[in-house]
Amino acid sequence: MDRSGPRPARVILPAIAALIGLASLDGALGQTTARSLRAERWIAPGANRINVLSREPTACLDWPVDPAQRLSITIGRAAFRDPLLLGGQAARAGISCETCHRAGRDNPDFHFPGVSGAPGTADVTSSLFSSHRGDGLNNPKTIPDLSVEKFRLKVAQDRTSGDLERFIEGLVTQEFDGHAPPPVVLAGLADYVRALDPRSCPAQASRPITAQALLSDVDQTLETAATLSARGDNAAAQAMVRAARTRLFLVDERMTDPKLRAQLRAFDQTLSRTLTASAMTQARQNLGRSLTPAILRKVETSLFNSNRLAPGADSALPRRPS
């Protein structure tokens, strides 16, 4: 692949169209007929597919004691994982900050047609995603690990300068053509990145991807949304509801029981209409009392069971109704 000259649109556009055509994230769950997990779209050729789909890096998060700071980091962590934060083509393809920076680290198995060169690289000035920063050149760079020592990162992270907040806002609005995040969400994103610290890395570098962890994320994010709603910050609360629905999607796509998936989608529709703190509290209760136990009972027959991700076992992947 020529990495220096202009990228012909006739090569790139079909690639992105094929990927984006698999899913739309601006509606309810189950809007696609794809038979693969979303993450499979950017797994590099030659990567260990089963490992990538069944395990994830552990986070090197230095959680502060201060409740306000913990809340801010929780907000940022949820937004970091939501493709709708970025908007534009990235959102349509299902790409979030987390896609390239898994658990705030890097992603050596990432490969996106028209954007990546070698595995683990991305062109941040790609016209594919940005009408502002696209330069017409194919110049992918190695995806940085955000959990390294701060002096190794290119953007200063001290709170007084505001450099990190400006960088993140520019990334969203200029690099991906998204809308500026609500102030509380932008502050949370910066605080989340600041809290990534190599000294806080767990002994185990990776962990299994589980339904329990994803559902806990949904619950925590809805709790955060309720807190923000009670404070009158509806824009930030809505962003958290969207982030919760994103995590719920990752549960839905791995379940194979049709009745259970129907329940998941009904719950998702409820979340799409949830704006008040009391409604979010009720949704959390429904999630904990009925939906979560039902999902956990079906884990072994779902795609959370890595044995069902074996090569050649794609018939186990669920079809999504159109």
Q: Residue 68: count other Cβ atoms within 10 Å of its Cβ.
A: 9
Q: What is the chain's mean pLDDT, rounded?
A: 86
Query: Is residue 209 helix, strand or coil?
Result: coil
For range 304-322, the mean pLDDT: 58
pLDDT higher than 90, residue 188? yes
Query: Environment class of residue 311 by beta-carbon count within 10 Å: exposed (0-12), middle (13-18) or buried (19+)?
Result: exposed
Which carries the bigger pLDDT value, residue 136 or residue 142? 142
Residue 235 pLDDT > 90, yes or no?
Answer: yes
Residue 14 phi/psi, 5-degree rounding, is -60, -35
In whole angstroms, give the CA distance from residue 76 to residue 80: 6
Average pLDDT estimate for 88-116? 95
Helix spans in the chain (H): 9-20, 49-54, 67-80, 83-86, 88-93, 97-100, 163-170, 183-195, 211-230, 234-252, 258-272, 277-286, 292-297
CB 51 within 8 A of CB 116: no
Domain boundary among 158, 181, 200: 200
Q: What is the rounded CA–CA span in Å between residue 295 and residue 257?
A: 9
Q: Which residues share a beta bridge with 122?
A: 141
**Confidence bin at 240 (pLDDT 50/70/90):** very high
Lowest mean pLDDT among 21-25, 64-68, 162-166: 21-25
Counting every residue written for the chain, the total comes to 322
> What does the pLDDT look like over 191-217, one tens digit per residue?
999 999 999 999 999 999 999 999 999
pLDDT band at 275 (very low <50, low <70, confident <90, very high): confident
Tell me whether residue 261 is exposed, middle or buried, using C-beta atoms within 10 angstroms of its C-beta: 0 to 12, 13 to 18, 19 or more: buried
Residue 322 lies in a domain: no
Q: What is the pLDDT of residue 219?
A: 98
Residues 222 and 147 in one domain: no
| pLDDT for residue 166 is more than 90 | yes
pLDDT bucket at 31, cuts 50 / 70 / 90: very low
Q: Are residues 110 and 185 in the same domain?
A: yes
Shared-domain flag, residues 169 and 236: no
Last residue of a domain, one of 181, 200, 219: 200
Q: Residue 57 — φ and ψ, nearest 5°?
A: -65, 150
Amino acid at 273: R
- Mapping DSSP to helix (H, G, I), strand (E, B) and coil, where does residue 14 land? helix
Tokens of 140: 């992918």
Q: What span, in angstroms and rounded, lies between the C-alpha atoms of 146 and 152?
A: 9
Domains: count for the chain: 2
The pairing of strands 141-142 and 55-57 is unpaired
Asked if residue 269 and residue 135 are part of one domain, the reply reads no
- Contacts of 156-162 spanning 24+ positions with Cβ under 8 A: 157/190, 157/193, 157/194, 159/194
CATH number at residue 52: 1.10.760
Residue 196: beta bridge partners? 61
Report whether 48 contacts 67 (CB < 8 A). no
User: Is 300 inside a domain boundary?
Assistant: yes
Residues 68 and 193 in one domain: yes
Q: Is residue 22 part of a domain?
A: no
Among 141, 149, 225, 230, residue whose Cα is nearest residue 188: 225
Q: Which two tokens stand for residue 63?
A: 């959680």
Q: Tell me if 43 sits within 8 A of 57, measured CB to CB.
A: no
d(Cα 267, Cα 49) in Å, to the nearest integer? Answer: 30
Q: Convert 138-150 into a string of H (helix), E (strand) and C (coil).
A: CCCEECCCCCCCH
Structure tokens of 34? 């794809």
Residue 298 confidence class, pLDDT cut points 50, 70, 90: very high
Residues 52 and 195 occupy one common structural domain:
yes
Question: Can you read off the two tokens belonging to residue 107?
Answer: 């992603």
Task: For residue 129, name the pLDDT band (cuts at 50, 70, 90).
Answer: confident
Report the range out of 23-32, 169-178, 191-200 with the highest average pLDDT. 191-200
Q: Which domain holds residue 258?
A: 210-305
Give pLDDT, residue 311. Answer: 59
pLDDT the model gives residue 137: 81
Residues 169 and 260 in one domain: no
What is the C-alpha separation between 137 and 123, in angstroms, rounded?
9
Q: Where does a domain end: 200, 220, 252?
A: 200
Mean predicted confidence (pLDDT) in 235-264: 96
Residue 55 shares a structural domain with residue 142: yes
Looking at the fold, whether 191 and 268 belong to one and the same domain comes out as no
CA–centroid distance for 239 within its chain: 13
Terminus-to-terminus CA distance in the chain, angstroms? 36
